[in-house]
Each structure stands twice: as structure tokens, then as C-alpha cells.
Amino acid sequence: MQKKEKQVKLKHRIEYFVFSAFTLLVKLSPLFLMKINRKILCFLFKKTNKRYARIVDKNLEIAFPKAPEQEISNLKDKVYRHFSRILIEILYMFVKKNPSAIIKNIEVNHRENLEKALEKKKGVIIFTAHFGNWELVPYILNRKLGRRVFGIAREMRNPLVEKIVKQSREKMGLNIIYKDNSIRSVLRALQDNEIVYFLIDQHAIRREGVVIDFFGKKVNAVTSVSRMHIKNGVPIVPLFLHYEEDKVVLNIHPEVPFHKSADSSEDIKKLTEKCNAKIEEEIKKHPEQWFWFHNRWRDEIRRYHETRR
């Protein structure tokens, strides 16, 4: 069945024009201007979208309820600076001919954990969060370890920008599987002993997720990784990328150990909790590097408002 093309609307063209203009600015900018461009983008982040600023404020309040107000304010500034940095880096890597000139200092720790999981010949699911710079993970695994990476992505609402983002991700070494009808493609990749990359830290709709604790509050969590392990025995390997000054560090953790019971539904919940606990642990080490702009605790916030009525 041929895929129906999305209609291009006026707002799509305006967004594309702004995106293209900024991309052109980056393309014409020499590398030594990267820091200035980060500061410009950081300023725009703070001043142009009040909605996301409110989400960040609420998320930090939920995650760190006992933190002093000044500490939260400082952390929020660090969050904006970090994500301005990684967006500029991604743009530079996309428009420049030599991406390795942008990201020079890369450290990969414990690659043997991934190799050991691949020896089982069942494929490997790697999972992480929107943390550090998750877009660099396929690039590093491809360039440093010589491994292909398949990842699930949702098409953007703007089809013009989607084309650019798709090109960028493919340049970074990601073989894209779009979310619609993705199961068959994922299973085929795993059967070929490939690596499939999942980001599992965002809100899941109720019929597809399970309720777990995250930073001590209830969230609806993605279960796709847990389901594939419970059903097919695919090894699950967590990995997390973070920045230490100008160094990019990719830590590959050991395969997640899990013993199945007779109750698959309870197993899925427990394994999902275990994976998310690992994510929480990493976020607490470098809280400024997690994507606080996502409405992760939307059900918690809704319940809060309902009790105030």
C-alpha cells in the first residue's frame, strides 16, 4: 500500500523557511563561532517559548521537590545551555563535510558488553533516554565500533522539515524504521543479529504503557523493550551518552538481567520498572543533560489540578 503524502500547509513552509535560514547561517559559520551560535540559540530558547519553560519548571519541581529555589533556577539555566549546545552540534555535523571535526574527543567505555550480547545471535535492543545527545549514539556505534544501528522514529508533522531531519539521522548512521507498522521491520533486524535502538523515557498512552514510579511519581512508561525481551528473549543493553566538558562519553552497561515468571504481564511491568530505574539513576548523575522539555508527568500534573478544583 502506497504511503499517502502529507499535505504541505502554509505554516509548514514558514517553519521550513526559518529552519532553513538558521541551517544556512550555521553552514556559513566557521567552527570557531559555534559557542556564539550556542549563546544565540540559548537566548532564543528562553525568550520565545513560554509553554516549554512552564513544563521545565513543573518537571524540575516534581523531580526535585526538596531542592532550594536557587538550585532549581541554576539547573534550569544549565538545561537550556546544554540543549542549545547539542542542537548546534547536530546542525554543524549535518551541514559540514567532516562531522568528526565537530566531535573530536569521544570515549567509549565497556564495548565488550555489547559484543557479549551480540554473541547470542538474537539481535540486541539498546535503550537509552533523551539524555546527553542521543542523536550521537548511532554515529559513535557506527564510526567507532563498526556496527549498524536501526532506530524507530515518528514522522514529524512538518513534511518539509522531516526530509532534512531524516537526512541528518541517516548521515549520523541511523537506519530509520518509522513507527507506523514498525514491528515487522524491527523483528527482521533482530533476526539478522542487528542492533535496534530505543528511547524509552517519554510518556506512553495508557493502552500501550504501564504505570510505574519515576522520581517517586507515577508515570505511564513505554513497554516495547520489555515485551520483546519477554516474548523473544532479545538481550537488552542500556547505554548512556553524556558530556564531560568537551569530551563525549558513551558508557555501555551490562545486559539487563531478568528471570521470567509465569505471569508475563507482571514481568513486563517489573522489567519496565527496572529499565526506567536505570534511566533515573543516570539522570541524577547529570540532571542538566536530560530533556526536561517533555511533559513526562502529565498524568501527575493532571491529578494535581483535579485535587485543586
Residue-wise pLDDT for 7-16, tens only, equals 777 878 887 8
Tell me the mean pLDDT in the region 40-49: 76
Question: Does residue 35 carry a pLDDT above 50?
Answer: yes
pLDDT at 17: 83
pLDDT at 306: 55
pLDDT at 16: 81
Q: What angle do CA 215, 218, 219 make, to 5 degrees?
A: 95
- Greater confidence (308 vs 284) lies with 284
Band (302; pLDDT cuts 50, 70, 90): low
Quote the percentage of the chain above a pLDDT of 90.
Answer: 58
Rounded to the nearest integer, the mean pLDDT of the chain is 88
pLDDT tens per residue, range 212-271: 999 999 999 999 999 999 999 999 999 999 999 989 999 999 999 999 999 999 999 999
pLDDT at 67: 95
Q: Are 199 and 127 in contact (CB under 8 A)?
A: yes
Q: Are 38 and 80 in contact (CB under 8 A)?
A: no
The x, y and z cell numbers of residue 80, run together, are 537550556
Distance CA 234, CA 279 (A): 19
Q: How far is CA 303 from CA 213, 290, 300, 306, in A?
A: 15, 24, 5, 5
Question: Does residue 121 carry a pLDDT above 70?
Answer: yes
| Burial classification of residue 96, based on how many CB atoms lie within 10 Å of its CB (0-12 exposed, 13-18 middle, 19 or more buried) | middle
pLDDT-wise least confident of 59-68, 131-140, 178-187, 244-253: 178-187
**What is the total residue count of the chain?**
309
Tell me the mean pLDDT in the region 148-154: 88
Distance CA 238, CA 129 (A): 9
pLDDT at 1: 41
Distance CA 251, CA 266 (A): 29
Phi–psi pair at 232, nearest 5 degrees: -115, -5
Strands 209-214 and 217-222, bridge-based pairing? antiparallel
pLDDT at 307: 55
pLDDT-wise least confident of 4-13, 165-174, 286-295: 4-13
One DSSP character per residue, 126-185 reads: EEE-SBS-TTHHHHHHHHHH---EEEEEPPPS-HHHHHHHHHHHHHTTEEEEESTT-HHH
Indicate whether this model's pTM tops 0.85: yes
